[in-house]
């Protein structure tokens, strides 16, 4: 392939192969092939201008040569193809918007200053017809909308033979539409990336009934896979055995559990909250109903910030006042169209309706650039209004990779045997404590070729029930083992645990009704937790609460270290949700931060819910905001971002009303001509909108965006 080297510095190589040389899927395919080279950190290919950007580890200069060799070896008639990931889609959308904006501005300048007047006038008249017809349709439907006002302003400008003025109005309206489309496109991409939560692996059921872990991309249509409690559904599938309760919030927006049984259909992106099912694959990843799901959620007006909805309603409500002022000025000035048109050339609605959604879009984009995907503008508004933050403990305030610190055995039981049985039972379920047990067994070399147990049943927030060697096996919390299952508690057990592992989370293993061992798991505090809580208080959060299923002693120590003065220990999932609902009934706006299956009811109940990157599939599916890293500092960032957004929107309202009122008054008084008032109004609208695209937070900590325009 022929290309020119546009930039060649250590770690960064930019090539130009020629415009329209690749199709979109070929551009994605070439980028994917480049990223397969060891040492290449990122690769982006643009079909519009044939640009190839390669970022690599500058320590290994051989990577540069390998990348160039790959490009040299490309066959133009047989280029690789691939589907885009979220970063590719976002980068492509940014480039398309930038290109459309350049074309629009360039076209306006050409018509305004370079095109012969007769041609420019003809173009303006033809273009104006569309705006006028749209306004007439709304007017004939009995609606006085912003479109009616726009059509009136354009018509009056044409009647005055102010073709340049009419062209300027239409140019601004077109820019507004472009920005709205850009908002929608970015929102769709962000939603697609966040709503469909898939794991990397699935459990494939073989013909003999055994289960083996496979990479998701190797799954074929018709294969049987096992989906258990706590996992998201990776593909569209039909249940062939078992039953369960499925959270379909990612499809319907409702967190009501749907019962699934043999013959029921499961959709990718939904999450199993209870039960275990064997399902037959109907569609592979990338060919599911995700596009329809995203469209459904994107079109929901509930995703808009109420400030955005208020701006749209306010813009339409102000239209009659502008039209009344126009008619009144015509009467008072004896039909002086020039002075009366000042009330049309300057309107509140255009700036209000354009600036607010752009501000919300810009804030969502900034959140995305900083590693947080917000599923709707209304959640940014809730983050600003919140006065209570409720934290789960395990995996949220503490690290998501706890370690097995100690195994206490009963009746001469062997530590390795306890750990092996515990890992075999826990490996099917996504929780940080389960991962710690499985990791400890693996580090100790305790592997098993086949499952030691029969079918396992997960009891949310309690434990796991199964059978091992014909004997009942139970593993879970003290409440589950000793109260629910009635296992006798050895005398002095809890005193021993308090003495030997006072700050550990404990998991109890019982075999055939007898306690065989206790796994003590250290749950180290996140290094940023105390500082994040302090910053949240400083930002106006009045109450910080911790809810946990752990014992009182462990909960008290964690709360003390973090600086939380209100905590509740040994809380069940339904109690967490009830607590959140009670806070809301008291008039509080609640942020819930959680990571586990047991947190999903509370996450669904909160005004806005947040899940970190290492949360379970269910938690990420239910959450309104998903953070792409595992740091609580992102929560502080979101709070500051949302507060900055609402402050910006309120400032916009004040400026728009004050400045445009002044322009109308000066126009009516004859101090300013309609052309000048229109120009000043348009410039102020562009200025406010452009300001709303700037960052709300300091750029020092902002990572370089993967969606670079080039």
pLDDT exceeds cutoff 70 at 475? yes
pLDDT exceeds cutoff 60 at 253? no
Residues 38 and 118 in one domain: no
- Residue 85 or residue 605, greater confidence: 605
3-state secondary structure 118-177: HHHHHHHHHHHHHHHHHHHHHHHCCCCCHHHHHHHHHHHHHHCCCHHHHHHHHHHHHHHH
Residues 407 and 509 in one domain: yes
Full-model pTM: 0.65
Is the four-CA dihedral 344, 348, 351, 353 of positive or negative sign?
A: negative
Mean pLDDT of all residues in 13-36:
84
Residues 220 and 122 in one domain: no
Residues 592 and 671 in one domain: no
Instruction: For residue 363, count other CB atoms closer than 10 A to its CB.
Output: 26
Residues 679 and 593 in one domain: no
Contacts of 543 (CB under 8 A, 6+ apart): 387, 388, 389, 566, 588
Report d(CA 389, CA 535) in Å as an integer.
Answer: 12
Residues 55 and 74 in one domain: yes
pLDDT in tens, 306-362: 665 666 666 667 778 778 878 888 888 777 777 777 777 777 767 777 788 788 888
* DSSP-derived 3-state class of residue 314: helix
68: containing domain? 4-82
Residues 348 and 378 in one domain: no
pLDDT in tens, 272-313: 877 889 999 988 765 655 545 444 444 443 445 566 566 666
Report the domain count for the chain.
6
CATH classification at residue 26: 3.30.70.100
Report d(CA 455, CA 674) in Å as an integer.
Answer: 79
Q: Would 321 be classed as within a structural domain?
A: no
Give percent of the chain with pLDDT exceeding 70: 84
User: What is the per-residue pLDDT for 370?
Assistant: 85
Q: Would 303 be classed as within a structural domain?
A: no
User: What is the per-residue pLDDT for 415?
Assistant: 92
Instruction: Out of 194, 225, 244, pick the residue that ends a domain.
Output: 194
Residues 103 and 165 in one domain: yes
pLDDT in tens, 165-183: 888 888 878 887 787 677 6
Q: Exposed/middle/buried for 211, CB within 10 Å: 0-12, 13-18, 19+?
A: middle
Residues 514 and 584 in one domain: no
Q: Would 183 be classed as within a structural domain?
A: yes
pLDDT class of 702 with cuts at 50, 70, 90: very low
Are 47 and 67 spatial neighbours (Cβ–Cβ below 8 Å)? no
User: pLDDT averaged over the chain?
Assistant: 82
pLDDT in tens, 104-147: 999 999 998 899 999 999 999 999 999 999 999 988 988 887 78
Mean pLDDT of all residues in 207-218:
82
CATH classification at residue 620: 3.40.50.1000
Residues 185 and 240 in one domain: no
User: What is the per-residue pLDDT for 454?
Assistant: 55
Residues 124 and 156 in one domain: yes
User: What is the per-residue pLDDT for 707?
Assistant: 36
CA 591 from centre of chain: 16
pLDDT in tens, 581-605: 999 999 999 999 987 666 777 888 8
- Residue 596 or residue 78, greater confidence: 78
Residues 29 and 110 in one domain: no
User: What is the per-residue pLDDT for 191?
Assistant: 57
Instruction: Out of 465, 487, 522, pick the residue that ends a domain.
Output: 522
Instruction: Out of 231, 257, 284, pick the residue that ends a domain.
Output: 284
């Amino acid at each position: 392939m022929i290309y020119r080297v546009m930039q060649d510095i250590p770690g960064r190589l930019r090539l130009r192969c020629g415009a329209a040389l690749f199709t979109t899927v070929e551009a994605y395919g070439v980028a994917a092939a480049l990223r397969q080279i060891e040492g290449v950190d990122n690769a982006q290919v643009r079909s519009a201008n044939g640009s190839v950007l390669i970022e690599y580890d500058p320590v290994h200069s051989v990577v540069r040569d390998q990348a160039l060799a790959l490009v040299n070896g490309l066959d133009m008639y047989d280029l690789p193809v691939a589907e885009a990931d979220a970063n590719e889609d976002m980068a492509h959308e940014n480039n398309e918007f930038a290109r459309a904006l350049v074309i629009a501005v360039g076209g306006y300048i050409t018509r305004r200053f370079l095109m012969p007047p007769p041609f420019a006038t003809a173009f303006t008249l033809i273009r104006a017809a569309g705006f006028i017809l749209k306004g007439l349709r709304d007017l004939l439907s009995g609606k006085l909308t912003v479109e009616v006002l726009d059509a009136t302003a354009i018509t009056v400008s044409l009647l005055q033979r102010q073709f340049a003025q009419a062209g300027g109005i239409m140019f601004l309206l077109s820019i507004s539409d472009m920005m709205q489309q850009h908002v929608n496109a970015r929102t769709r991409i962000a939603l697609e990336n966040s709503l469909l939560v898939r794991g990397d692996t699935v459990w494939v059921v073989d013909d003999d009934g055994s289960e083996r872990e496979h990479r998701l991309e190797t799954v074929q249509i018709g294969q049987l896979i096992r989906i258990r409690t706590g996992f998201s559904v990776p593909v569209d599938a039909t249940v062939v055995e078992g039953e369960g309760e499925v959270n379909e919030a990612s499809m319907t927006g409702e967190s009501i559990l749907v019962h699934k049984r043999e013959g029921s259909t499961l959709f990718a992106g939904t999450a199993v909250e209870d039960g275990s099912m064997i399902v037959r694959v109907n569609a592979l990843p990338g060919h599911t109903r995700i596009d329809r799901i995203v469209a459904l959620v994107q079109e929901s007006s509930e995703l808009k910030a109420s400030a955005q909805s208020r701006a749209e309603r306010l813009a339409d409500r102000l239209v009659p006042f502008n039209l009344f002022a126009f008619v009144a000025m015509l009467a008072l000035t004896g039909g002086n169209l020039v002075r009366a048109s000042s009330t049309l050339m300057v309107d509140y609605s255009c700036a209000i309706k354009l600036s607010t959604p752009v501000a919300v879009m810009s804030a969502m984009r900034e959140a995305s650039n900083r590693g947080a995907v917000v599923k709707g503008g209304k959640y940014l508004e809730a983050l600003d209004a919140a006065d209570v933050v409720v934290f789960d403990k395990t995996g949220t305030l503490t690290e998501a990779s706890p370690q097995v610190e100690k195994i206490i055995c009963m009746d001469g039981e062997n530590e390795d045997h306890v750990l092996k049985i515990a890992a075999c039972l826990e490996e099917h379920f996504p929780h940080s404590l389960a991962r710690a047990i499985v990791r400890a067994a693996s580090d100790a070399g305790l592997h098993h070729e086949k499952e030691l147990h029969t079918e396992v049943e997960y009891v949310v927030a309690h434990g796991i029930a199964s059978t091992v060697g014909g004997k009942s096996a139970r593993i879970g919390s003290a409440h589950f083992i000793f109260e629910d299952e009635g296992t006798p508690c050895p005398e002095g057990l809890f005193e021993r645990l308090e003495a030997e592992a006072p700050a550990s989370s404990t998991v109890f293993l019982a075999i055939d009704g007898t306690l065989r061992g206790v796994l003590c798991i250290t749950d180290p505090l996140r290094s940023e937790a105390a500082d994040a809580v302090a910053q949240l208080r400083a930002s106006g959060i009045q109450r910080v609460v911790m809810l946990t299923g752990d014992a009182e002693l462990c909960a008290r120590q964690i709360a003390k270290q973090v600086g939380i003065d209100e905590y509740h220990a040994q809380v069940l999932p339904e109690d967490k949700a009830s607590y959140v609902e009670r806070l809301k009934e008291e008039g509080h706006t609640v942020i819930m931060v959680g990571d586990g299956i047991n947190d999903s009811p509370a996450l669904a109940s909160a005004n806005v819910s947040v899940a970190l990157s290492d949360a379970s599939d269910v938690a990420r599916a239910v959450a309104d905001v998903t953070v792409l890293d595992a740091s609580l500092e992102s929560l502080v960032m979101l709070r500051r971002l949302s507060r900055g957004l609402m402050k910006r929107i309120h400032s916009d309202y004040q400026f728009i009303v004050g400045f445009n009122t002044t322009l109308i008054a000066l126009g009516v008084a004859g101090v300013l001509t309609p052309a000048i008032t229109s120009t000043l109004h348009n410039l102020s609208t562009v200025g406010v909108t452009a300001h709303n695209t700037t960052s709300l937070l300091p750029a020092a900590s902002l990572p370089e965006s993967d969606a670079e325009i080039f």
